[in-house]
């Protein structure tokens, strides 16, 4: 399995391709996901789904472009973030003058093992940044969205955020993973669980 990072959009948001055996998942495609699309085409990959860690605009606004390019695809999102993705004010899409709500149906994760096309991963529910924040564990790799960054954590000053819950989820659900697990955050460089346990100033 291969994980590739593709920063895009106005906030330099990390979108990811998880690929294996000619199949891939498009995770958190941001606005104008050209790099991701070019990689899919150049590698001859078949996209099996769009998978979202949470419902903020910079993590989902490339979904339509991916679907327009590769055809109809299921879109995965935690049910507790549905109210955000369908409201441009709550998702932040209105900040870049997008006023149309996200109207596509979404498939909801179960906590624990999920099968999406050819891929099996563990969905780790980590509310706090948003009520439906999810981290995606593929073996020894964890895509953490805006829950955990290198030496930082997601912001929790939205009306629907919860700072204490965010920190508790990181401590109880992420910092209990093996220290060798690589984290792939929604912004910035990758890290490891071990590095964050030792160095993250927000959760010590």
Residue spans of the domains in the chain: they are 2-199
Kindly give, in sequence order, each residue whose CB lies less than 8 Å from that of residue 49, ignoring residues fewer than 6 positions away: 25, 26, 73, 74, 75, 76, 116, 117
Per-residue exposure over 74-85, b if at least 16 CB sit within 10 Å of its own CB, e if not? ebbbbebbbebb
123: its two tokens: 């969905």
The CATH superfamily label for domain 2-199 reads Ribonuclease Z/Hydroxyacylglutathione hydrolase-like (3.60.15.10)
DSSP strand pairing (152-153 vs 148-149): antiparallel
Place of tokens 């291969």: 2
pTM flag (> 0.85): yes
82 and 136 Cβ atoms separated by less than 8 Å: no
CA-closest candidate to residue 153, choices 89, 203, 102, 83: 203
Sequential pLDDT tens for the chain (204 residues):
999 999 999 999 999 999 999 999 999 999 999 999 999 999 999 999 999 999 999 999 999 999 999 999 999 999 999 999 999 999 999 999 999 999 999 999 999 999 999 999 999 999 999 999 999 999 999 999 999 999 999 999 999 999 999 999 999 999 999 999 999 999 999 999 999 999 999 997
């Amino acid at each position: 399995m291969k994980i590739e990072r593709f920063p895009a959009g106005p906030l330099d948001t990390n979108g990811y391709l998880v690929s294996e055996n000619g199949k891939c998942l498009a995770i958190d495609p941001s606005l104008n996901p050209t790099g991701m699309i070019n990689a899919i085409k150049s590698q001859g990959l078949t996209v099996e789904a769009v998978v979202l860690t949470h419902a903020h605009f910079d993590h989902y606004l490339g979904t339509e472009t991916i679907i327009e390019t590769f055809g109809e695809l299921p879109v995965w999102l935690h049910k507790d973030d549905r109210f955000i993705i369908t409201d441009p004010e709550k998702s932040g899409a209105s900040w870049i003058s997008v006023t149309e709500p996200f109207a596509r149906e979404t498939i909801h994760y179960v906590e624990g093992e999920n099968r999406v096309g050819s891929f099996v991963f563990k969905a780790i529910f980590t509310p706090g940044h948003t009520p439906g924040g999810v981290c995606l564990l593929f073996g020894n790799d964890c895509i953490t969205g805006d829950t955990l960054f290198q030496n930082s954590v997601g912001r929790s000053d939205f009306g629907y955020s919860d700072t204490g819950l965010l920190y508790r989820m990181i401590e109880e659900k992420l910092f209990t993973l093996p220290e060798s697990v690589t984290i792939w955050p929604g912004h910035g460089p990758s890290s490891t669980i071990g590095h964050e346990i030792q160095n993250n100033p927000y959760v010590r």
